[in-house]
Amino acid sequence: MTSRNMISSAATDKLPGQLMASEMAEQPNRLAALLSRREELGKELRSLVPPDLAGTVLVARGSSDHAAKCGAYLLEMSTGRPVALASPSIQTLYRSGTDYSGYLLIAVSQSGQTPEIVEVAQLARANGARAIAITNDSLSPLAGAADLVVPLEAGRELAVPATKTVTAQLVAFAIIAQALGEIGLDEEVAEELPGQVAQVIDDPAPVAGLAGWLRQADRLVTVARGILYGAAREAALKVAETTSLFTAAFSAADLRHGPIAIASNGPRVLAFAHPGPTSRDVVEVVTELRKRGASVRLAGPVEGSDVGWPSSAPEILAPVLAVVRGQQLALSLALELGRDPDSPPGLMKVTAT
C-alpha cells in the first residue's frame, strides 16, 4: 500500500468527533505556551498603543467575535477607555470613511483569511488606527494588514468547529488587557489556568448528562451576563454547528426585556455563572425561568450548579473554562445524535464574507 493510500485509509477509518476531541485535549499545553509569552507580547503591545488612546475597536466574526465579546470587558476595565465591536459592513459595504485617529483596532480571525476582517483592518489602519491581529497564522493576509501580530501558535486546527483557537483567543485578549492596564493576570494565575483547563477536560461526565437532557430538545437557549456572555454565545454556536439544533444566546439583562416570555413554551435553557458581580443576577434569572416553565441547567462553580469548573479561577479567565464546557457539550450531544462534529454538513473551516 502506498503512503497516499495509507493516509486515505486512515482518514476513512477516523471515528466521529476524533479530530475535535483531539484538538480539545491539546488546549492545556497550547494555552501554557501562549501564556509563557505574555511578558514578551506585553512589551510589544505597550510600544504600539497610541499615547492618548481614545478607545479600542474590535472586529471579528463567528467564534472569534464571541472571544472578542469577552475581551471587550477586559479591555475596557484595563484601559479605562470605551471599547466597541465594529460592524464590518460600515467599511466594506457602506464605504464609510471612519476616522480611527487615536484608536487601537484589534482584528481577530483564527485563519487570518476572512476577507472582510482583513479589509476592515486595512481601512482602519489607513484611517489612523494602530492595528493588532490575533490569528493562528502569522503569515496570513490579516497578519500582513496589521502593525503587530499576536500569534496564537495553537497548531493547525482540522475539525470544522473551532476549539483550541477560541480558548487561545480568549487568553490572548487577557494578555493584551493586562499589558495595557491591570486585570489580575499575574504569574500565579497564568500558571494555574492550564491545569484548570485539564481538570475540566478530564471530567466530561457532567456534560454527558446535559447531552442526555438535550437529546429530544428542538431548541436551546444559553444565558449569561458580563464577562461570561461571550462564552454563552460560543456554547450556543458550538451546539448549533455540530448538531443543527436551533440555538440562541441572551444576556441575562436582555432576557428580562421581553424574551423571557419564551419560558412559558418550555425551552431548554443553559445558564453560565461564575462567582463575581454578575452571578447573583444569573441565578435569579434561572429561578424566574423555572417558575415560568423552562427546563434550566446551570453551569459554573455556583450554588445549584449542574456542571462545574474550578472556582479558584478568577472571573477574567472563567470564559476559557465555560467555553471548554460548551465544547464538551457540543461533542457529546453530536455523538449522542449520531453526527460527526468534525465535519458538520454544509459548513467549511474558513467562511468567506
Res 8: pLDDT: 37
Confidence category of residue 116, pLDDT binned at 50, 70, 90: very high
From CA 212, how far away is CA 62, in angstroms rounded? 27
Least Cα distance to 130 among 52, 189, 67, 48 occurs for 48
Confidence check: pLDDT of 11 > 60: no
Helices (DSSP H) in the chain: which residue ranges? Answer: 3-12, 18-25, 27-35, 38-48, 62-79, 88-92, 115-126, 141-145, 164-180, 187-201, 205-214, 229-243, 252-255, 279-291, 318-336
Task: Dump pLDDT digits (tens) for 233-291.
Answer: 999 999 999 999 999 999 999 999 988 988 888 899 999 999 999 999 999 999 999 99
Domains of the chain: 15-185 (3.40.50.10490), 203-336 (3.40.50.10490)
Confidence check: pLDDT of 160 > 60: yes
Predicted TM-score (pTM) of the model is 0.94
Structural contact between residues 324 and 27, judged by C-beta atoms closer than 8 angstroms? yes
Res 3: pLDDT: 37
Task: Dump pLDDT digits (tens) for 128-147.
Answer: 999 999 999 999 999 999 99
Res 36: pLDDT: 98
CA distance to 63, 105, 154, per residue, from 92 (Å): 20, 16, 29
Task: Dump pLDDT digits (tens) for 101-110.
Answer: 999 999 999 9
Task: Dump pLDDT digits (tens) for 86-104.
Answer: 999 998 899 888 999 999 9
Partner residues linked to 224 by β-bridges: 251
